[in-house]
């Protein structure tokens, strides 16, 4: 187990790795929030790096697999250059285990690049042109999602990333406006 998964919990990491071993090899934690942990994983079928976002088990127990999967189905329909596409989603592990052996997850492309937070820590202050470009990219993506009845529920401070070949990208997904997850 990599050293950086300690905060995600060794037991949960091992259970998740086992539950998804036939499809993904988990490499390390990319980030953690109140609702989910995001891992860098290797998609074994397509031989590519992916971001694997796993809902915290206690939240998954309250939310329920059916609701989570139905909301993911809605977000999978979003097609916009500033939103990451959804590659896969599902439930892994024991569906009767609400104590950490059941996982609700979805998979997105892994975008190499720095987060907005890292860029702000490095540069301290962005140029007006850079700030406008970032806000414009995020605004277009949010407007697109809102026009389809989807509201973003996560602070974008860690999420926007810039790669060398594409505009700022929001690496979180979106929940339908009538629901929270």
The alpha carbon of 17 is separated from its chain's Cα centroid by a whole number of angstroms, namely 17
Handedness of CA 133, 124, 36, 27 (dihedral sign): positive
pLDDT of residue 132: 92
pLDDT of residue 3: 55
Domain boundaries defined on the chain = 3-176
pLDDT tens track, the chain, 181 positions: 555 555 446 777 888 888 899 999 999 998 887 778 899 999 999 999 999 998 887 777 777 777 777 778 888 888 888 888 889 988 887 666 555 567 889 999 998 888 888 888 998 899 999 999 989 998 898 888 888 877 766 544 445 544 433 444 443 433 333 222 2
Q: Which residues of 135-163 are buried (b: 16+ CB within 10 A; e: fewer)?
A: eebbebbbebbeeeebebebebebbbbbe
CA distance 52 to 32: 12
Give the pTM: 0.72
SS in 3 state form for the chain? CCHHHHHHCHHHHHHHHHHCCCCEEEEEEEEECCCEEEEEEEECCCCEEEEEEEECHHHHHHHCHHHHHHHHHHHCCCCCCCECCCCEEEEEECCCCCCCCEEEEEEEECCCCEEHHHHHHHHCCCCHHHHHHHHHHHHHHHHHHHHCCEECCCCCCCCCEEECCEEEEECCCCEECCCCC
- Give the integer Cα–Cα distance in Å for 129 and 155: 22
Which CATH architecture does the domain made up of 3-176 adopt?
Orthogonal Bundle (1.10)
Contact 151, 175 (CB under 8 A): yes
């Amino acid at each position: 187990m990599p050293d950086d998964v300690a905060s995600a919990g060794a037991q949960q990491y091992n259970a998740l790795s086992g539950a998804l071993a036939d499809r993904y090899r988990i490499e390390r934690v990319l980030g953690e929030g109140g609702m989910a942990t995001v891992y860098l994983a290797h998609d074994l079928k397509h031989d590519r790096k992916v971001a694997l976002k796993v809902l915290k088990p206690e939240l998954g127990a309250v939310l329920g697999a059916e609701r989570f999967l139905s909301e993911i189905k809605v977000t999978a329909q979003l097609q916009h250059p500033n939103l990451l596409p959804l590659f896969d989603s599902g439930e892994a592990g024991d569906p009767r285990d609400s104590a950490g052996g059941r996982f609700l997850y979805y998979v997105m492309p892994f975008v190499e690049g720095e987060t907005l937070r890292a860029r702000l820590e490095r540069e301290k202050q962005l140029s007006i042109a850079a700030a406008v470009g970032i806000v414009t990219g995020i605004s277009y993506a949010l407007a697109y999602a809102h026009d389809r009845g989807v509201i973003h529920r996560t602070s974008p401070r860690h999420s926007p990333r810039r790669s060398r070949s594409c505009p700022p990208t929001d690496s979180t997904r979106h929940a339908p406006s009538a629901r929270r997850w």
